[in-house]
Structure 1
Amino acid sequence: MVAGALLGGRYELGRFPLAHKGMGEVWPADDTLLDRAVIVKLVDAAAMDLAGVRRFRREALLTARLDHPGVPAVYDLGEHDGRPYVVIEKIAGTDLKDLIAEQSPVPVAWVAAIGAQICGVLVAADHIGLIHRDIKPSNVMLHPSGAVKVLDFGLATMPDDDRYSRITLSGQSVGTLGYMAPEQISGGPADQRTDLYGLGATLYDLLTARPPFDGATTLTMVRHQLSTPPPRPVQFRPDVPDTLDDLVHALLATDPADRPATAAEVYATLAPLARELPPIPGVVDDPTGAVQAYAAIVGRVPAQWRTPAARPAKDDEAEPTAARAERLEADGEHRAAARHWRRLVELRTRRHGADDHRVVEARLRAARAHLPLGEYDRALRLMHAVLDDLIRARGPEAAVVRDLRREIATVSTQRPAGR
């Protein structure tokens, strides 16, 4: 393409491209019809196979479906001289990769604020069944207002929608090494917890100024990701709060079942840490108000936000899950029991709503299942999340709130030193 070219009769390209990516180009442009600055991404269809062109269009369609303030808006999709293009919102700011390089160490409060906002996007994505599959620092932008934008849905998928999932072959490994989840490396199925792993790796990088996994060779890095959790962030940065250190450690669990179940659960842990945000010179203009207001809008989500169109679960589906979980507990299979309790939470929430007492009990049973495993911090984190929801729903003086506070206090006193 050349500077000044007019696409679709309205998008005038700027003087120089912003980037060349493979067989594509990214240009600043002016929308002459609406008099606004935009970004135009083009690909060379003649140099790409049909699947590549389909992936390009698919990214635009998936991004457009995710109507959320934390995602750049898609304005138009067209073709110019045989070259497909997409017109998107122009985003100002700094990507997290540059933020880490230029502002390390990133203040803990900012790490939490950024993570909470990413969670808001992931909750909205889960609401339509969308999985990003490439959450990493270079795909997240921090606006001068303090707002976060999640970029590049080129690897996104909707497993329940054949129009979007069949382009990526089953068993194909996609993502960015060091940030992609172990199940992505092995070509296994991805779900919301896959994006939570990428979020955990991103938070790790923000906290420590290093990726969670590194190695002299690709093979070494892959072996570490598949078998060994990274050192905890607090080992490199002693000021990391225990709750945040435990959260990042859980997000980077090799087994998806050992990660937090939802982005809403992660948000509930991060949001309280995003307080008293200090200035970031040259990056954020208004650190005190904008981020907290923005995070309150996009991140204040129910503990379990499921797709409204999802088929309600029947009691005969939920009860066997509870019975199975109890049998596993009796057999000493506590980790498997925790997974079944979390499944019961999903089923009961769709049937009865997040505030139903049966949902609350299942969440607590899932938390308690981690105690025999010695995972006191994770159990307490899950219990505190339930407590916060109960206080919001029933008030601080409700009997169930008082009982749970006493249980949390008891568990806290039983926790061995160092756990």
Structure 2
Amino acid sequence: MVAGADLRDRYRVGRFPLAHKGMGEVWPAQDRLLGRPVIVKFVSATMLDAELVRRFRREALLTVRLDHPGVPAVYDLGEHAGRPYVVLQKVDGVTLTDLVAEQGPLPIGWVAAIGAQVSSVLIAARQIGLVHRDIKPSNVMLDRNGAVKVLDFGLAVIRDDDRYSRITQTGQSLGTVGYMAPEQILGGSVDHHTDLYGLGATLFDLLTARPPFEGVTTTTTLRHQMDSPPPRPAQLRPDIPAALDDLVHALLAVHPQDRPATAAEVYAALAPLAQDLPPIPGVLDDRTGAVPAYAAIVGRVPQQARPTMTPSTGDTDLDVEHAAKQAEQLQAAGEFRAAARQWRQLADRHARRHGDDHPLVFDLLLRAARAHVPLGEHDRALRQLNALLKDRTRVDGPEHAAVLELRQEIERLSRDRPAPRQASRSAPDADR
């Protein structure tokens, strides 16, 4: 029992747990040293084993890695009576599941505001190669100041980092039926597109007060996800703007390549809709609190509508992350050619450090190739994609998930490209 316990003579645990969530028990507590309320999450006593302890510690380390105001801060990590625990920032708010249960479908502005904030967390996650894999309403909280917090990184992975990427199933499914992406259901490779699917399902839920896929059994729900066209929330709620309806529809695409390219693109679509936010009775009022006042000024900091690429003289991971953020900004601003050039330069730099066959080099070059499609340069994109397919097949073999996905993407692009036009005298920048 941990009710009322003193942890390291510092944290006084409350008398009743707040929740039993996944592999953990969540308790309120008081940090007596700093005089503040906190949350303490323990490994569930009924599931305690070495593998679960490893996963629990791994979740805490991943949460620390993602330094973003939309993620609860981790204050401490310890053990009590053989049970590991993590001390987290207390969020004064409600989960989106409870919010919808209390309020019904949310106002359009609030759906966009919540979605945009989750998108910003996913932008930060992608910068460190992290995939959450369990984005859903119960894993997102709305603070009473209007800020969103993304919770529960117990299923997260970080690409190309064995310390965080390997996770063993211990009686738990890796995701939530109705919200996990088809590639996750099939046990395939996951990337940032996987979390975008979860975000799309969450937005659908907020807009309609029902999940996007429902079935009498788990099997029928999964069949709807895999075999049915992506649903449109406007069919259940006609006042949804066409742009938002199209976005949710695209986020729920079965194939990852058919979803928006990045979370930055999703943010750019949602942010303009987050206007005239009404009070939410019992949750958010119309007073100007300290956090919204602070955020409102930060939001006025000039953004580069047309970011310029400045070559970096260093070759550190921080430089790469900064340059990748610039490329995402360029793409979000519609500067697709400049974004493609930035992705290729990043690929060159990473190849010099880690070799031409490194998976991140492939990913960067894939982004560069895709950036030419909105410009109507389908042939150029196809040349680059086919070159990548040849290299990736050589390295990973013809049956690798990434190879199969790329081959399907090439087939779709070849099928959908417009009829050839007469060649222009001014040719675009040369391929890499």
Fold match (TM-score > 0.5): yes
**Aligned in 2, Cα 1:226/1:302: closer, same or farther, shift over 3 Å?**
farther
Structure 1: gaps spanning 5 or more residues = 314-339, 353-359, 372-419
> Which sits farther off after the overlay, 290-299 or 280-289?
290-299
**SS of alignment partner, residue 373 of structure 2:** helix
Letter in 2 for 1:59: E
- Equivalent of 2:373, from 366, 377, 380? 366
**Aligned in 2, Cα 1:299/1:184: closer, same or farther, shift over 3 Å?**
farther
The residue number in structure 1 matching 2:271 is 271
Question: Which whole-Å CA distance do the structure 1 matches of 2:134 and 2:127 have between them?
Answer: 18
**Aligned in 2, Cα 1:296/1:126: closer, same or farther, shift over 3 Å?**
farther
- The answer as to whether partners of 1:134 and 1:179 remain within 8 angstroms in 2 is yes
- The answer as to whether partners of 1:70 and 1:117 remain within 8 angstroms in 2 is yes
- The answer as to whether partners of 1:19 and 1:26 remain within 8 angstroms in 2 is yes
Letter in 1 for 2:374: A
The residue number in structure 2 matching 1:347 is 343
Question: Which whole-Å CA distance do the structure 1 matches of 2:287 and 2:253 have between them?
Answer: 32
Question: Which whole-Å CA distance do the structure 2 matches of 1:135 and 1:284 have between them?
Answer: 23
**Aligned in 2, Cα 1:10/1:234: closer, same or farther, shift over 3 Å?**
same
The residue number in structure 2 matching 1:147 is 147
Structure 2: gaps spanning 5 or more residues = 310-316, 324-335, 349-366, 379-432
Deviation per residue, 1:270-291 (Å, 9 max, x gap): 0000011111111113477866
Question: Which whole-Å CA distance do the structure 2 matches of 1:341 and 1:224 have between them?
Answer: 38
- The answer as to whether partners of 1:145 and 1:286 remain within 8 angstroms in 2 is no
- Please state how far the C-alpha of 1:136 moved relative to its aligned partner: 0.3
**Aligned in 2, Cα 1:342/1:69: closer, same or farther, shift over 3 Å?**
same
Question: Which whole-Å CA distance do the structure 1 matches of 2:254 and 2:70 have between them?
Answer: 28
Q: What does 1:338-417 correspond to in 2, within 5 Å?
A: 344=340, 347-348=343-344, 350=346, 365-367=372-374
The residue number in structure 2 matching 1:207 is 207
Letter in 1 for 2:130: L
Higher relative contact order (CA 8 A, sep 6+): 1
The residue number in structure 2 matching 1:260 is 260
**Aligned in 2, Cα 1:71/1:302: closer, same or farther, shift over 3 Å?**
farther
TM-score computed with the length of structure 2 as normaliser: 0.70
Question: Which whole-Å CA distance do the structure 1 matches of 2:238 and 2:377 have between them?
Answer: 26
- Please state how far the C-alpha of 1:189 moved relative to its aligned partner: 0.7
- The answer as to whether partners of 1:76 and 1:86 remain within 8 angstroms in 2 is yes
The residue number in structure 1 matching 2:121 is 121
**SS of alignment partner, residue 367 of structure 1:** coil
Letter in 1 for 2:271: A
Q: What does 1:37-116 correspond to in 2, within 5 Å?
A: 37-44=37-44, 47-116=47-116
**SS of alignment partner, residue 176 of structure 2:** coil
Deviation per residue, 1:189-228 (Å, 9 max, x gap): 1101100000000001111111110112211111111122
Deviation per residue, 1:350-406 (Å, 9 max, x gap): 379xxxxxxx997774225599xxxxxxxxxxxxxxxxxxxxxxxxxxxxxxxxxxx
Question: Which whole-Å CA distance do the structure 2 matches of 1:134 and 1:299 have between them?
Answer: 32
TM-score computed with the length of structure 1 as normaliser: 0.72
**Aligned in 2, Cα 1:47/1:146: closer, same or farther, shift over 3 Å?**
closer
- The answer as to whether partners of 1:117 and 1:298 remain within 8 angstroms in 2 is no
**SS of alignment partner, residue 285 of structure 1:** coil
- The answer as to whether partners of 2:344 and 2:368 remain within 8 angstroms in 1 is no
- Please state how far the C-alpha of 1:51 moved relative to its aligned partner: 1.2
**SS of alignment partner, residue 254 of structure 1:** coil
> Which sits farther off after the overlay, 342-351 or 70-79?
342-351
**Aligned in 2, Cα 1:72/1:341: closer, same or farther, shift over 3 Å?**
same
**Aligned in 2, Cα 1:349/1:173: closer, same or farther, shift over 3 Å?**
farther
**Aligned in 2, Cα 1:22/1:214: closer, same or farther, shift over 3 Å?**
closer
- Please state how far the C-alpha of 1:294 moved relative to its aligned partner: 3.8
Question: Which whole-Å CA distance do the structure 2 matches of 1:312 and 1:264 have between them?
Answer: 14
The residue number in structure 1 matching 2:233 is 233
- Please state how far the C-alpha of 1:87 moved relative to its aligned partner: 0.4
Question: Which whole-Å CA distance do the structure 1 matches of 2:321 and 2:294 have between them?
Answer: 34
Question: Which whole-Å CA distance do the structure 1 matches of 2:47 and 2:371 have between them?
Answer: 55
Letter in 2 for 1:162: D
- Please state how far the C-alpha of 1:44 moved relative to its aligned partner: 4.8
Question: Which whole-Å CA distance do the structure 2 matches of 1:82 and 1:144 have between them?
Answer: 35
Question: Which whole-Å CA distance do the structure 1 matches of 2:224 and 2:341 have between them?
Answer: 32
Question: Which whole-Å CA distance do the structure 1 matches of 2:245 and 2:338 have between them?
Answer: 22
**Aligned in 2, Cα 1:106/1:45: closer, same or farther, shift over 3 Å?**
closer
- The answer as to whether partners of 2:204 and 2:248 remain within 8 angstroms in 1 is yes
Question: Which whole-Å CA distance do the structure 2 matches of 1:194 and 1:346 have between them?
Answer: 24
**Aligned in 2, Cα 1:44/1:77: closer, same or farther, shift over 3 Å?**
same
CA RMSD, 1 decimal: 3.6
Question: Which whole-Å CA distance do the structure 1 matches of 2:108 and 2:211 have between them?
Answer: 16
Say yes or no: does 1:156 pair with 2:156. Answer: yes
The residue number in structure 1 matching 2:193 is 193
Letter in 1 for 2:190: A
**Aligned in 2, Cα 1:222/1:76: closer, same or farther, shift over 3 Å?**
same
- The answer as to whether partners of 2:42 and 2:83 remain within 8 angstroms in 1 is yes
Question: Which whole-Å CA distance do the structure 1 matches of 2:293 and 2:273 have between them?
Answer: 11
Work out the percentage of aligned pairs sharing the same amino acid. 65
**What is the count of residue pairs matched by the alignment?**
339
- Please state how far the C-alpha of 1:98 moved relative to its aligned partner: 1.2
**Aligned in 2, Cα 1:144/1:44: closer, same or farther, shift over 3 Å?**
closer
Question: Which whole-Å CA distance do the structure 2 matches of 1:168 and 1:342 have between them?
Answer: 41
